[in-house]
Amino acid sequence: MATASVAFKSREDHRKQLELEEARKAGLAPAEVDEDGKEINPHIPQYMSSAPWYLNAERPSLKHQRKWKSDPNYTKSWYDRGAKIFQADKYRKGACENCGAMTHDAKSCMERPRRKGAKWTNMHIAPDEKIETFELDYEGKRDRWNGYDASTYARVIERYEARDEARRKYLKEQQLKKLEQKNNKNEGEGEGEGEGEGEVSDEDDEDDEDDALKVDEAKVDESKQMDFAKVEKRVRTTGGGSTGTVRNLRIREDTAKYLLNLDVNSAYYDPKTRAMREDPLPDADPNEKFYEGDNQYRMSGQALEFKHLNIHAWEAFDKGQDIHMQAAPSQAELLFRNYKVIKEKLKSKTKDTIMEKYGNAATEEEMPMELLLGQSERQVEYDRAGRVIKGMETSLPKSKYEEDVFINNHTSVWGSWWKDHQWGYKCCKQIIRNSYCTGAAGIEAAEAATDLMKANIARKASSEDAPAPAEEKKLATWGTEVPEDLVLDEKLLTEALKKEDERRREEKDERKRKYNVRWNDEVTAEEMEAYRMKKIHHDDPMKDFLN
């Protein structure tokens, strides 16, 4: 066996070390110990805190791999389920009002609500639960089996054993039942038949029934037989190569589906995908047809369920749920299953409610007299004000939460009044929550303020004058207002037309333009009319024929 090598300064040190080891083995020299008082193995280097496995030294591993800081508060224990610590004889102040335990309050009580709690009856005080708090280390936090009781697995074994026992008992009863029926049948038959043939037939029947009653554990599931028509075929290869799977191949003796109906207007057959969705023989007897189109597979079996699953995923996504059939199919299927379960429960609940209220005419049960006559033997008398005089009125069960608690001098709860899409208090008609109640005076002041505001709005609307109607102003040809008595002078208009022609000729040939040009900013009505008459409109179709 190999040992760890230790470096020595010289041969003399090595020799002394060997002699010391021999003396220690013989018990003549004391063993060397470390800081913790444990014996040090001389074959291990001093930087190691533990010996290797092959030296048979029960020590921890290397020092640099050992956990340096260990918290003593860490524990691997778990909660003591169902443990009780103290059983009180009477109710204590601050305990649960329902059961009387000090470790929780009435809202957190897991016991059935009592008609009168332990606070008032001072009886049947529940014991205090054991509440533990401990800090787990790194391994304890991640231990999946922390707190698991291995003895509980015996229940699983017992359940499976009980199932197997019931199965064997059932098979035995079925066999005895079959044998009894066979014996009764044989006794009723005539004795004229051959005894040998009867014995042979009886033995064959017994064997067949035994085989039918026995459970064939080697029987293959139908889901594993889906590839019974699987054919391996060489594809896209010259000398062999990879193989491809060709499914849904028909038997060669059967008629091809595209030959079932040779009418051109019959069901369409796609030769590429070998699909014919419609029924090629819709008028034929369905009992004699072996093929009704590919749509029969789309609308039956798991294909229809998958279709409903897709529709549910789409509708759920449109309504805001984060669900995607392709991204998370397992989640979509789980939500669809929960949806179907909830739907069935709601449907059955609605049905039961309707039948409980109106009854079921299909049943033969007699209706109770309370429903037929609308009365019962319980008698309750009331006075004119509606108060109960005699008898006991049916009391509605209250919850364990606080009810009818009025604050800030209110006599009604928040939400007892509704106006203009706002909730408020009915006692003072305030819509501000946690406000102080002002009573009838506050209601009158609010109504007076509302009436004053409406009066001010009506007064302001009546005081505003109606806007004066806008007068239509006729614009002149040069863009100003046209007076009603405007009259153009024919002579001045003729002169203005001549001046406009001269101005246009000067614009075309600047050589005819005089040196000293005098400009007049005053434009007369005749000059403006002449400019308008001589102006060329670019959208005029006859502009090329002018002048």
Task: Round to whole Å and give the CA distance between 271 and 79.
Answer: 69
Q: How far apart are CA 351 and CA 345, in angstroms?
A: 10
Contact 51, 59 (CB under 8 A): yes
337's enclosing H/E stretch is helix 329-358
Q: What is the token pair recorded at 10?
A: 């010289």
Strand pairing class (135-136; 74-75): parallel
Length of the chain: 547
CA distance 261 to 267: 8
Which conformational region is residue 55 in: left (phi greater than 0), alpha (psi within -120 to 50 degrees), or beta?
alpha
Look up tokens 């709005």; give the residue: 457
| Residue 258 identity (one-letter amino acid) | Y
Residues in the chain with pLDDT < 70?
1-11, 24-72, 190-250, 364-365, 367, 369-376, 393-399, 465-484, 510, 512-519, 546-547
Q: What is the pLDDT of residue 209?
A: 53
Distance from CA of residue 470 to its chain's centroid? 64
The secondary structure of 115-171 as a DSSP string is SS-HHHH--SPPPEE-----EE-HHHHT-TTTT--GGGHHHHHHHHHHHHHHHHHHH
Which of 217, 187, 219, 220 has its CA nearest to residue 202? 187
If you ran DSSP here, which 8-state letter would residue 39 be given? B
- Between CA 478 and CA 531 the distance in angstroms is 9
pLDDT at res. 311: 93
Please identify which residue in the block is written with the tokens 């209601």. Answer: 443
Whole-number pLDDT of residue 512: 66
Q: How many CB atoms lie within 10 A of CB 526?
A: 19
